[in-house]
Amino acid sequence: MASFPILGCLIVAPLALWWFANRGRNDKINPLGLPLPPGPKPYPIIQNLLDVPLHKSWLVYSEWFKIYGDMVYLRVLGRDILVLRDLKTTNDLLEKRSHNYSDRPPLPMLNDHMGWNFAVASMHYGSLWRRHRRLLHDHFNAGVIKKYRPVQISVARILIRNLLESPSEDSDFSDQIRFTFAAIMMKITYGITVKDKDDEYISCAEEALKGLGEAATPGRFLVDIFPIMKWIPSWIPGAGWKRKAEYWAIINTKIINEPFEWVKKQINEGCAVPSICSRLIEELPEEGSLEEEKIVRDVCAITYLGGADTTVSVILSFFLAMCLHPEVQKKAQAELDSVLHGRLPEFTDYPFLPYIQAIAKETLRWNPVAPIAFGHVASEADEYNGYYIPKGTFVLGSGNHARSLSLPKSKLLHPERYLNNNNNNKIDPTIRDPSIAVFGYGRRICPGRFFVHESLFIVIVHILAVFDIKPGVDEDGNEVEVKPNYVTTGVLQYPAPFSCRIIPRSTQAEELIRNSDSVG
């Protein structure tokens, strides 16, 4: 009798797999008789389940592109997946046909179990998404972001003071970077001043985004393929995914509710600090619905999370790039010295610093924070370049398109690619900006992209104006080799820890840093 459950599983499991593999088959009928895009040959029943890469998937996709071309198709237990290589193909589908490619796939682990359904990035396309998106656009479009500049300058100057007080050779300087951007976003979003890098709001953001990186990877968790697994109790052996989800759900609940309730309390007491959250709460109608308040709460949470950590990867890449390319650093500092003449930078210096602008663009392009973009879904069947794209296909546009925007030297840090040598080294408007591949596509493009650009600029100019960035040294005083290695949480990547010396350029620069608290 004890063998009956095992026998039952042996019978039921293949039938379940067969059902998943063939579900929706009627929806996949190809009325034009066109071929599907090429891809790895599927196995019986499980199809391409074993082919789906779970770690640094973009590297596997790069190898597939060499074999199959610009579009690679997989089918995993009834789900269609299409991976796009080049910018033209991605633009043709996700931009020009955005009406058909603006939805998101079902994300049971991320949305249902971890509570990320508050995030506009993972919501299904529709009226609720548009309401969230409209609020984000209202506060981060190109015409309004100037109002955040005083906070951005203030926090950039806090950063250079913190870097000065840290050991000159500090492999943990990344903590200061994370603190800086978390502080910017917490102040702008909620009016809350975080005191140090151990603040609970900062640690919660890091944990939440770690969970996002893992759960947004297609195929990482089986519950995304077999939603029926949601009924499995968390205490059963093998249900570790559910215990992870419960932990991350608690983190997300804290991020969504606690700072929001703090602002509401401050408003009721008449002492609220001006912030996005306080303005949105005050704009709610007196008899507003709970749904309207929830939308405001959700928008504030994703505003904070969106800027608190992902930009950190870009700044850490900047430090890594300066260690690897001292010639770029020296050229940038020469430009800064010719403009600043011994003072700290301001946003008004932007037009006179084209090489710094180029470094910011190149840092975005060099090692994109999201090498594989968040997936889109084909709402209806489509045809492209003679291939059939079934309804419901999960479409991935690679963030690594940024790498191929400006050749040659695509793998090297080369800011000069954006400059026009025939026009006094000004930014060349004919060179495609890497932002078109870094911040997403179509109606799903990141609403905070203009704010990110300004944050990158003001942090980079402050650091280069007063510091030299060099590789660390060993116990014999010899510089250690710095390698451009990256680690990944799933869909996001960060430079692996590396030894770095952050040294004031001169005694005058050190004095400028110490006095920066009285400026700006």
Asked if residue 345 has pLDDT above 90, the reply is: yes
Predicted confidence (pLDDT) at residue 25 exceeds the cutoff of 80: no
pLDDT at residue 11 is higher than 50 = no
pLDDT in tens, 347-396: 999 999 999 999 999 998 888 887 777 789 999 999 999 999 999 999 98
Buried b (16+ CB within 10 A) or exposed e, 113-145: bbbbebbbbbbebeeebeebbebbeebbeeeeb
Q: For the chain, what percent of residues have pLDDT higher than 90?
A: 40
More confident position, 462 or 446:
462
Q: Is the pLDDT of residue 457 over 60?
A: yes
Cα–Cα distance list, 487 to 367, 400, 484, 492 (Å): 11, 15, 10, 9
How much is the pTM?
0.84
Give the list of residues 6+ apart from residue 414 with CB closer than 8 angstroms, or none.
362, 406
What pLDDT score does 218 carry?
Answer: 64
- Given a cut of 50, is residue 15 above it in pLDDT? no
What span, in angstroms and rounded, lies between the C-alpha atoms of 28 and 269? 58
Tokens of 470: 């060099």
Confidence at 167, pLDDT banded by 50, 70, 90 = low
- Mind listing the pLDDT tens digit for each residue in 297-344? 999 999 888 876 667 888 999 999 999 999 999 999 999 999 999 999
Q: What's the confidence (pLDDT) of residue 511?
A: 94
pLDDT band for 6, please (50, 70, 90 cuts): very low
* Complete domains list, the chain, with CATH: 29-518 (1.10.630.10)
pLDDT on residue 398: 63
Least confident of 7-16, 168-177, 210-219: 7-16
How far is residue 359's CA from residue 81's CA, in Å, rounded to a whole number? 35
β-pairing, 394-397 vs 79-84, is parallel
Mean pLDDT of the chain: 84
Check whether 446 is labelled as a binding-site residue: yes
Residue 53: closest CA among 26, 81, 87, 22: 81
**DSSP annotation of 237:** T
Q: Are 406 and 398 in contact (CB under 8 A)?
A: no
Which range, of 42-56, 134-148, 272-286, 374-388, averages the lowest pLDDT? Answer: 42-56
User: Do 470 and 501 contact (CB within 8 A), yes or no?
Assistant: yes
Which range in 151-155, 226-230, 416-420, 461-465 is most confidently predicted, on average pLDDT? Answer: 461-465
pLDDT mean over 33-44: 91
pLDDT tens digits, 226-235: 777 878 887 7
**What is the bridge-based pairing of β-strands 394-397 and 376-377?**
antiparallel
Contacting residues for 413 by C-beta, under 8 A, at least 6 apart: 321, 324, 325, 328, 362, 363, 366
pLDDT for the residue numbered 519: 43
pLDDT of residue 337: 96
Report pLDDT for 169.
58
Exposed/middle/buried for 407, CB within 10 Å: 0-12, 13-18, 19+?
A: exposed
